[in-house]
Structure formats: C-alpha cells, structure tokens
Amino acid sequence: MFKNNSKDKFQCKFDLFMSKHFKENILGIDYGDSDVGLALASSGTGIAFAYKTLKNDKNFLQKIAEIIEKENIKTVVLGVPAHINRKEAVYPSEKLGNWIAQNFGVNVFYQDEMFTTKMAQANLINKGIKKIKRFDDQEAARIILQEWLDNN
C-alpha cells in the first residue's frame, strides 16, 4: 500500500523537477567516516541544493553508483581539507574521487571544506531547522558545491 508521506511527495517532485530541467548534474560530496552529505546542482543554474545524507557503510559505494546513474552526474566535487603544511597524504575523499573517476568517467574536482560543517550548522539554525545533525552533512555538501560553482 502506498504510504502518503509529505517527505516522499517532496522527493518525487524534486526528482521530477531535476530530471526535466537539468540534463547534466553536478554532485557535491562532504565525505565523512560515518555520514556522507550530498548536494546537487546543474551547471546551467549555478545553484546547489542539499540532496541527502548517506551512511558510510558497506553499501555506500553502491549507493553512490546508483545516484551517479540516476541523476545523470557528469561532474563530482568533493570537499577536502586545505592544510597549508600538507605532506604526501591522500585524504579519504581523494581516494573516493579517484574511484569515481575510474569507474564512471566523470570529471572530479576538489574544493576546500574547511569550516563547512560549522557554516552548515549555523545556516540550519538560522533557518529554524530542528535536529540539525540530521541535515548538516548535506548542507555542508551544498556549501562545498556552491563555493565550487561560484569559483568556476
């Protein structure tokens, strides 16, 4: 039986809107050890939207693969910390970016993610959102993607 849920209705309307109006999407990723925030944008609009939060579990890579296919992703932007004294370390988000590029042939870019979680939490508080922890990863991904869009 179909469950009449306003969240489901919103997601369906969002999916339909995105598929009709934005043929080539950009995926923004705020990669974390336990949760991964996602945001979507179209190169045509230059506006990033918070999309969803995924658990970083054994099914994570499969879910990313499904989203890349479903949303017709052509570019992925991953947040990385911009440390001045960076050594030869490769960040986990860079490993994910390499995997995405090798498996899907999409363009992969990196954007500084310093303080995006703090900015995301402040944005959500200002909007009056309750339980901000449920949404701060996807809002951080939105900020990362929006900053990349603004700079490119």
pLDDT of residue 2: 42
pTM attached to this predicted model? 0.75
Distance from C-alpha of 21 to C-alpha of 24, rounded to nearest angstrom: 9
Q: Under CATH, what is the fold of the domain 23-151? A: Nucleotidyltransferase; domain 5 (3.30.420)
Whose CA is closest to 52, among 61, 43, 63, 44?
63
Q: Give, for all 152 residues of the chain, the pLDDT tens digit.
A: 444 455 566 665 666 665 555 457 999 999 989 999 999 998 788 899 999 999 999 999 999 999 999 999 999 999 988 765 556 667 788 899 999 999 999 999 998 887 777 777 777 677 777 887 877 888 889 989 999 999 98
Whose CA is closest to 125, among 113, 135, 112?
135
The alpha-helical segments, DSSP class H, found in the chain are 6-21, 60-70, 92-104, 116-126, 136-151
* Radius of gyration of the chain from its Cα atoms, rounded to whole angstroms: 15
